[in-house]
Structures are given as C-alpha cells and as structure tokens.
Amino acid sequence: MGEAKETTYREAVREAMREAMKRDERVFLMGEDVGHYGGCYAVSMGMLDEFGSERIIDTPLCESGFTGAGIGAALNGMRPIVEIMTVNFVLLALDQIMNVAAPLLHMSGGQFNVPLVIRMATGGGKQLGAQHSHSLEGWLAHIPGLKILTPATVQDAYDMVGLALADPDPVLIFENALLYNEKGMLDTQAEPLPIGKASVARSGKDVSIFTYGISLFKALEAAKTLASEGIDAEVVDLRCLRPLDDETIMASVRKTRRVVIVDEGWKSGSLSAEIMARINEQAFYDLDAPMERVCTDEVHLPYAKQLEDAAIPQPVKIVAAAKKAVGS
Amino acid sequence: MDIELAKKFYRQMVLIRRFEEKCVEMYSKEKIRGFLHLSIGQEAVAVGVMHALKDEDTVVSTYREHGHAIARGVAPERVMAELFGKAEGCTHGRGGSMHLFDAATRFYGGWAIVGGALPLVGGLALADKMQKRDRVTVSLFGDGAVAEGEFHEVMNLAVLWQLPVLFICENNLYGMGTALRYAESETNLARKAAAYGMEARQVDGMDVFAVAEAAQKAAEEVRDGLGPIFLECLTYRFRAHSMYDAELYRDKNEVEQWKKKGPLVVFQKRLEEEGLWEQIGADAAEKEAESTVDAAVDFAENGTLEPVEDLAKFVYSEEVMHG
Amino acid sequence: MSEFVMPSLGADMESAVLMEWKVKEGDPVKKGEVIAEVETSKGVIEIEVFETGVVEKLLVEPETECKVGTPMALIRAEGEAAAEAPEAAGEPEAKSEPEAPPAEAPAEEAPEPRVSPEPSAEVRASPAARKRAAELGVELSELATGPEEVVHLEAVEAAAAKGTAAKPEPEEKAPEKKADEVPKEEVTPKAARKKEAPEKKAAQEDAMRQAIAAAMSRANAEIPHYYLSTPINMTPALEWLEQRNAGRGIRERVLPAALLIRAVVKALEHVPELNGFWRDGAAQTSESVNPGIAIALRRGGLITPALLEAQTLDLDGTMQALDDLITRTRSGKLRSSEMTRQTVTITNLGDLGVERVYGVIYPPQVSLVGLGRITEAPWAEGDALCVRKVMHATVAGDHRATDGRTGALFLDTLNDLLQNPEKLQ
C-alpha cells in the first residue's frame, strides 16, 4: 500500500498513461490534438515533450482512419491508446469499432485478438448543443467483443488505463468531461478492482441506486438528501457497462428489494433497460416494487441551460425516483 | 526468362482457376453458402503480387480473396474447408468465403466492408515502422473502394507518416454492378493516389510477369523506407460480381473480348513467342491442379463442424494471444 | 449417368424458371459449358454443366419453374455405356450431407402457466410479497385494503408475525416443485388449529365476512334484480343419466351436477343475453360461456371459479372439467383466468336442502342461475297426479341488461333441455 494523495481526475489519467508509457515501449498515444495542443481536455499536457512525436501522435481529422490504424497497430505488436476527442465523433469510427475491432477475434476463429484501448470524453451538461452532448457508452455496450469502462472516481480514472492496457481485447474508456477537474484521492499502489466488478459506493438497506460515471456523484448527493428523510439508499458504481457485474447488482437487489437506475443515456433501448431486464430475469421474486430509472429525456440536448439541465439526470430526480420506489 | 519461375506462375494461376471453378460447382450444389466472389480472370494479380512478398510481410485483402490466399500460401484444402464451413477451415468455419484469415501466413483477412480494412492496413504498417521492422504491408482492394472515405483517410495517413504499405488496386472496371465511369469523377485511379503525394504506378493486370516485376520493384522500395506505393493493376473479372448476379450491367461481348486476353491466354502466347511453351508442362499443371482441388473437396467434405457449445468462444480472449 | 440439377446461385434463391436449353439430347458437353438459361428474380442467368460427356436426356421443358436441386437433365459421362441405369451422382446431393443441427437455443422449458396461489387473484402484490405470503401461508386478499392498493412484503411479514393461520391450500408454483401437496393440506389445518387461538380465527373469518359484505352490498345497490322461478321435472333426466352411467366405470360416470351445468350452458347458447356483462352503461354478451360454479371451501366460504369455454364441452367433457375444477379449487391451484372470466354464475345450494335460490348477481355479470334441491314432490302428468323428482330453477337477472321475458325464455329452454336429456350429450 502506498500513500494516497489528492489529485484531479485529469491528472490521474495522465499519470496512468505516463506510467504505462514509461514501463512499456509498445504503448503510444494517438488522436486529435493530443500532442502540440496538449489534448483537448489537457489530459496529455506535457506528454509530447516527455515522450516525443513518435509516441504522442497528432492525427489528422480522420476518426475512421486513425481508429483503424490503432487496430492495425494493436494487431501488429503495439499497445496503442487511441483518443477519440469525444464520444460525439465515435460515430465516424463506428465501422472500425463494430466491424473490425469487436468481431475480429471471433470472426478469425480465435486467431487475431485486438489489444486496443480507445479513450473518449463523454456526457452533456456543458451547453454544447445537440451534436456535442451525447452519452453513447450505454449504446456501445450493446456490442459483443468490446469492454466498456466508465471510471467515475479519481482512483478508477487511474486504475482503468492500466487495466485496459493489460487486457488482450478492445477496451473503450469513457471519461465524463465534467469530471476532469474533480479532485479525489489516488493511491497508485492500490490493487485495482478488476474490469467487470461494480463497487458499492454507499451501503444502504432501503433502495439500490445503480449508476456510473458522473451520475455517481449525483446519486450520492441524492442519497444524502434521502438519508435526511429516513431513507437509507445503497449506491452502486457499475464501473463497467460491458460486462455488467450481475452478481453485485442482484446481491444489492436482494438486500433492498427496490431499484433506481441512473443512466445519462436516453432511456429507450438504453443500458437502464438492460439492467432492468437482467433484474427481471435474475431477481424478480426479490422485488417489492416496480423498478425506477432516471435517464436523459428523449431529446437531443439543447443549448439553453435551463432546458439542458431539465433534460439530464439530476439529484432531485433521483430522490423522487427513490421515494417512488420505496413507496413514500 | 526464368523457366522455373514461369512454371511456378503457371501452376499457381491454373490452380487458382480450377479452384474457383470448383467453387462454382460446390456453390451450385449448396455445399458453399452465403456470398461467393470469384477471382477468375484476376489470377495474374494474385500470383504476381504474392511472388514479391517475404514470409514476414503482411497481407490484407477483401472478400474476393481466394486467389490471394492460395497464392500467399494458405493450403487450398483449408480454404475449401472454410468455404464448406468446417472447423478445419483456415478460419475454423466461422468466416466463410469473405473472411479467410491465417495467422501462419500473416494473412489478415478477408473483409466484407468495402474499404473497411484500409485503416487497419495503415495501423499494421505503423506498427512495423515503430518497431523498426523490415516489413511490407500489402493491401489489396478494388476500384469500388476508392470511393469510400476510408480510402482517402488512409492515403493521407500513409504518405503523411511514410508508412511501409504497398497498395494494390485491382481495377476490374466494375464495382458490384456499377461501371467505374458511373462511380468516379477521375477514373484514372493512380492519379488519385498521386494527388496525395504517393508514388503511383499502373500495370497490365493480365500479364503475370509484368505484375510480378512491378510488385517486386515496388515492394523493395517500400521495404527500403521510400514510403508507400500505389500500384493499379488493370484487370477484369470473367464471372459476375458474385454467384447470384445476372450481369445486367455489362455486355457479353465485352466479357468475351477480355477472355481473349485473360491471364492464362496471355501467358501462353508469351511463352509460345519465346518458344518455351512446351517446357511449361501445361498438362501436368492441369492434372496437378485437378488432383489438388479434388483433394481439397474431399478434405472439406470430411471435415467436422465446430460444436454449437463453442459459439461463445473467442468473443473475448481466454489468454493473451500474442505479445 | 449423373443428374444435372438446378443450381443454387444465391442464399436467397429458391427456384428459377428454365427459359431455354442451350443443348439438345445427344449433344456433347464440356465441363464449364453453358447448358441453359434460367430466369431468376435478378434476371436471366446462364447455368453451366460441371462434367464432360453427352446429354442423355432433358427432363424439364422450357418455361418450367424448378426449385433448387431439381433434376433437369441426365448427363452420360465420357466412356459410359448409353443404356446404363442412372447412377447416383458423383457428388452427394446437398441434402445428404450431414446437416448441422439448426443452431438451437439452449433447450427452453415450456413456460410454466402462472398459477396464483389464492382465489382472490385480483389482489395486487409485489413479487416478494407473493412469494413470502406463499411461504408463510398468509392470505393476500385479506391484506389488500382497497382495489388499487398494492400489498408489499412488509404487510405480509407483519401479518405473519401477528400469527394469522397458515392457509390450508398449498402455495403457488415456485420454480422448484414442492413435495406432494395433498398430505400437506391434511396436516396444516390441524397444525394450524392447534396453534391458533380462537380469537384469531374469528378475526380472520370476520375479515372475509367484511369483504363479502362489501361486495354484496355493492351488487345489490347497483343492480336492479328481477327474479323468476320454475319447477323442473328431473325424473326423465336422472333416469337417462342412470342408464347412461350403467356399464361405465366410476371415473366415466357423470354426476347430476354436471348434467345441470351442461343444461344451463346449452340454454345460454339459446338465450345469450344472459351470458355476459353490463359495462359502461351497455350490455355485452360473451361468446364464451364461462359459468362460475359455486364451490364451498372446507374452511368455510364460497368460491365461484369459472368452467372456461364450457360451450365447447360435451357432457363427458363437462363432467371432467367440473371434477378437475373442484379438485384444484380444494387444493388451491386455480388459475387467475378462472377467477376473473366468469360470464354467469350457477349456484346450486340444493345439497343443503334449499328449495329455491334467490341469489345476488356478481357484477359485472348480468345473471345468476340458482338450482335448488331435488325433492320428491307431487307432479301432474296429463290428468293424473304422480310423484316425481322436482327441482326449482331460478334466474336472477340484471334488469338493465334483460327483462323478464328473457329470463322466462331461458328457464323454458332449460326445462326443455332437461326433458330431452339426449340433447345434452
């Protein structure tokens, strides 16, 4: 065990990448403006100077081209980290992700695995308008062959880079853009919680709130409010959307029998729907009330602040959902 | 004229031709299902290009890749077994005609999205460059792919980053059912690559010797670090795009004209001109091809099916596959 | 000799039309040569022959549609004698290849019919509450405080903690099958009676009374009832039944109750206005005749599960269905559809000695048929007086939906059927 120090989410990610690149010369970072600009969200600030332009590569604006290049490099002995500036641009690389990276191991009869890491900023709430405010991590979690990570805490922001690089298959990491400035404790020596394990951020007995990413903090805030009203909420940080940690989820449902899911995607056909389906399949008889969920309203996010805030999950909505679930 | 080399070229082209013809029969009898895209007429490109490569080079192709795979060294029986969907196939029956993969010969597919594998090509070459390896990545694709955005992205990246790629464009004048002139504003495809600052050349894709020579030269230059090269091979497919195609988009006469200058015809004429045709042993080559193809069919027929219980295998790696 | 068959040219090709033969019988052919033109959905395609030889016979005329795999011609191989009987083709037909079993989903169990544990399946309760109630033998219907209320786990546990009796009827089908139910049914009431204090039993009965009181009050208040009654000479029917039962094993014998139900059902087919509902200010007749059969429960109380689709059952079928219904009612294995889909109710208090039954209709039904005790009574036949087995049948009708004429017609029909019991087969 090392010492935990306070740092920002951004610095945790940077630290993790730096450590990985120092340890393993196969690791390199590739994406738009990661080098000279220092990274759109300043995550890779200073890394060009430290590692040089052969390992910190500024790409042209060609998501499909450089994501595919990342796949090819991973196939051929490197350990690339591809940074797609935000999840909003992943659509341009979707064919490479869904038709090349995700199926290759299965499609080649087990011959070719793709040890690729793709990092993306995600989420709305910054008044960036419809085309820059998507939360598509739940949508991408539909695809077999991929692993989908959503670090919420500073510790996970650090740990997940290493976990992803060690994984022999394609891993997508979603960093909510509003988290980069958040401070938290980081212990670089701590044993990381593996991919596929959720974490109980707050233990409780009256209702289970399942969530991920920035919504974790909204849920924890809601839990405080609920506690003051005599409702003891359990908050579970999913950490990984594919594979989902069914075991932890069902154990929580068995304990509290009431469920709220907070998912920043649109609710129709969303990750929250998937979790509800699984709870129906695995823990139906433990439920004491219908499951609730708080998702983004079915609109493309508008620019005006009051509209955008009203559309995305907020602590007050989570509180209301929890109360409905417990029947008060 | 290196007669041994010429014999090798002939044997390989005949083998591919008879293999593809057998595929027609097997497909008609429903042994092969799904989509089947044959390279009859384009044998000279496969044989000439693969001749220029070393074992450690990398090959990425498309869905019309049987000839490429066989010329590269994937055993015909493993290709046929793959087409029959058997576990003994090179892709364990999971890929079929469009997804031949073989790690041993560094044959990285078999891809069904037109242009979809081009970015991957860039990455494979990037890794070689980063690891300072002396390898060439050969990317085979058709005239149709040139319209896709991915083509342009990788052209740019390849030149920008000086990636060791040999781009082989098999221009057979038709996308699926659309003639090149209906698809491209600029039908001289080498000029497109040149517009990105890439060294771009054209060669007669029906002449295996011309293709081999051009590919050899280009591969050496790429290997020497002189940057990517684009080689447009002018060729033609004698059969339809796939099995289920009435060829409403082209004239029968045009096909007949091209058959008269097909790779086997061109080869024979050339050898006859040099008085060396007898030495080629065409009959022996035919017999050998027939027996190889028949054996491949037997192998495929007697193959086994991957158990259904293994369906979920290889979604994720069970262990690290390569370092 | 080998067969040339219609080739498969595509995954979605099922057949093609032969347009033109490019060869005649007797023509030599070479491998790879075009032998015919066929028309497909994608246009005309040339098809080729895969061996070298001679066209022995053309089996199909032009303009004929052939499925993939249909033999179209016979090809005699080079060097083969002309008169040889057709051999099996060198390549096995596609069908003979060991076919992979179609990718099956892992063996699915037939979905188990959901069985509600207790008669009052209209109670809304959470899955956890239901499960717990079944485990503890708590009667959910007693816990629902109103039709919109949901019973939660807490209420069940509280009720159990207060020590209400375990139900005699065993539980709903949980995923694991429970052990043999019947002995448990015997055991539990005794055990329960041992444990429960008299006040608690009274409290439970009181709750049920309250529920019945509420329901009946509502029915009586809302529905304008009319009542009609008629005596029916049951002697012919009973004699007929006795003869029919003679020579049958015990299991095949039909009880009078089944005969009566069959008669009511058949009479309702003739007078469908009495089989249905009054809803939203209008009468709705039902195509299905699902009579609720009043069945007494051992622990007291009456339940009226439906004999579903009785109109499709003949007399033997009615008997079997009735037997099954009573068995399942007593063992608590009724289906929720049986508890909610009654279209009419038949109440037969005759075995208690009541002569006539004037019942209260269960809304939203529009009638209730009452059948009294069968007694020996004086009966006039022609000019003479005799003694016959007589039963009084009554009908209570919702005057909004029907009037006395309808009720009378029904009773008339019922009587007629029972006088001609062979019509009830």
Go through the domains of chain A in sequence order and give each one's CATH number.
5-186 (3.40.50.970), 199-321 (3.40.50.920)
Return the structure tokens found at B301.
């027929």
Q: Which residues pair with B92 in a beta bridge?
A: none
Task: Give the chains touching B; criterion: ≥3 Cβ pairs < 8 Å.
Answer: A, C
A234 and A203 Cβ atoms separated by less than 8 Å: yes
| Residue C98, CB-side half-sphere exposure with 13 Å CA sphere | 8
Q: Using the predicted structure, report yes or no on whether residue B202 has a pLDDT greater than 50.
A: yes
In this complex, do B103 and A76 lie within 8 Å of one another by their Cβ atoms?
no
**Are residues B70 and B60 in contact, defined by beta-carbon separation less than 8 angstroms?**
no
Name the phi and psi angles at C349, rounded to 5: -95, 15
Are A96 and B131 inside 8 Å of each other by CB? Answer: no
Q: How far apart are the first and last CA of chain B?
A: 43
CA–CA distances in Å: residue A313 to residues A30, A126, A270, B138: 33, 14, 14, 50
- The structure tokens listed for A1 are 């065990």
Q: What burial class does residue A74 get, using C-beta atoms within 10 Å of its C-beta: 0-12 exposed, 13-18 middle, 19+ buried? A: buried
| Nearest-Cα residue of chain C relative to residue B22 | C50
Query: Is C13 close to B244, i.e. CB distance below 8 A?
Result: yes
Whole-number pLDDT of residue C211: 64
Do the Cβ atoms of B243 and C104 come within 8 Å? no
List, for residues A124-151, the tens digit of each pLDDT value. Answer: 998 888 999 999 999 999 999 999 999 9
pLDDT digits (tens, 9 = 90+) for A67-126: 999 999 999 999 999 999 999 999 999 999 999 999 999 999 999 999 999 999 999 998
Per the CB < 8 A criterion, the answer to whether C338 and C308 are in contact is: yes
- The share of chain A scoring above pLDDT 90, in percent, equals 94
Kindly state the tokens that stand for C355. Answer: 């002569």
Which tokens go with B290? 């027939």
- pLDDT, tens only, B5-25: 999 999 999 999 999 999 999
Half-sphere exposure of A4 (CA within 13 A, CB side): 9
**How many CA atoms, within 13 angstroms, populate the side-chain half-sphere of residue C59?**
14
pLDDT at A202 over 80: yes
Question: What's the rounded Cα separation, in Å, for the pair B137 and B163?
Answer: 9
Q: Which residue in the list A32, A63, A83, A292 is annotated as catalytic?
A: A63
pLDDT above 60 for B278: yes
Contact (Cβ atoms closer than 8 angstroms) between residue C73 and residue C48: no
* Interchain proximity B28–C32, CB inside 8 Å: no
Alpha helix (H) residue ranges in C162-285: 181-195, 198-222, 235-245, 256-270
What is the interface size between A and B, counted as CB pairs within 8 Å?
A: 152
For C108-207, list the strands marked E by DSSP. Answer: 124-125, 150-151
pLDDT at C120: 42
User: Tokens standing for C171?
Assistant: 């539980």
Cis bond before residue A243 (omega within 30° of 0):
yes
Q: Which residue's structure tokens are 């950490």?
A: A239
Q: Which residue of chain C is at minimal alpha-carbon distance from B20?
A: C32
Q: In the prediction, which pLDDT does C134 show?
A: 86
Q: Which residue of B has its CA nearest to C47?
A: B28
Q: Which of A276, A288, A326, A328 to mutate to test the interface with C (most CBs of C within 10 A)?
A: A288
Name chain C contacts of B25, Cβ cutoff 8 Å. 50, 91
H helix runs in A7-124, sequence order: 9-23, 47-51, 63-75, 94-95, 104-107
Establish whether A132 is a catalytic residue: yes
- Which chain C residues have a beta carbon less than 8 Å from that of B242? 10
Domains for chain C: give ranges and CATH numbers: 2-88 (2.40.50.100), 124-206 (no CATH), 224-424 (3.30.559.10)
Region C331-355: mean pLDDT is 77
Q: Is A77 in contact with B120 (Cβ distance < 8 A)?
A: no
Given A72, A110, A113, which is nearest B122 (Cβ)?
A72
User: In angstroms, rounded to a whole number, what is the distance separating the alpha carbons of residues C297 and C207?
Assistant: 16
Q: For residue range C255-268, list pLDDT tens digits in order.
A: 888 999 999 999 99
CB atoms A327 and C152 under 8 Å: yes
Q: How confident is the model at residue C144 (pLDDT cuts 50, 70, 90)?
A: confident
Q: Greater confidence, C84 or A116? A: A116
Tokens 């007593």, located at residue: C330
Confidence of residue C198 (pLDDT cuts 50, 70, 90): low
pLDDT given at position C200? 54
Find the closest chain A residue to B321 by CA distance: A113
What is the average pLDDT value for chain A, to the nearest integer?
96
* Cβ-contact B41, B235 below 8 angstroms: yes
Range B3-310 classified under CATH 3.40.30.10: no
Task: Give yes or no for A280 touching C (CB within 8 A).
Answer: no
Assigned token pair, C213? 């009181």
Measured between beta carbons, which residues in chain C are less than 8 angstroms from residue A281?
none
Amino acid at A73: A
The full set of domain ranges for chain B reads 3-310
Determine, for residues B92 and A109 on separate chains, whether the beta-carbon distance falls below 8 Å. yes
Percent of chain A with pLDDT over 70: 99
Q: Mean pLDDT across the stretch C398-423?
A: 92
Q: What is the rounded CA–CA span in Å between residue B317 and residue A75?
A: 13
Residue with tokens 């008085």: B275
**Over 50: is that where the pLDDT of C177 sits?**
no
Residue C75 is given by DSSP the state E
Structure confidence at residue C95 (pLDDT): 40
Smallest Cβ–Cβ distance between B314 and the set A73, A110, A115 belongs to A110
Q: What is the mean pLDDT of residues B85-101?
A: 94
Beta bridge partners of A171: A117, A147
Residue of chain A whose Cα is closest to the Cα of C124: A289
Question: Is the pLDDT score of B268 beyond 90?
Answer: yes
The pLDDT tens digits for A16-75 are: 999 999 999 999 999 999 999 899 999 999 999 999 999 999 999 999 999 999 999 999
Secondary structure (3-state) at B142:
strand
Q: What is the pLDDT of residue C196?
A: 44
> How far apart (Å, rounded) are the C-alpha atoms in residues C327 and B267?
89
Active site residue A298: no
ipTM score assigned to the predicted complex: 0.81
Could you tell me if A172 lies within 8 Å of chain B, comparing CB atoms? no
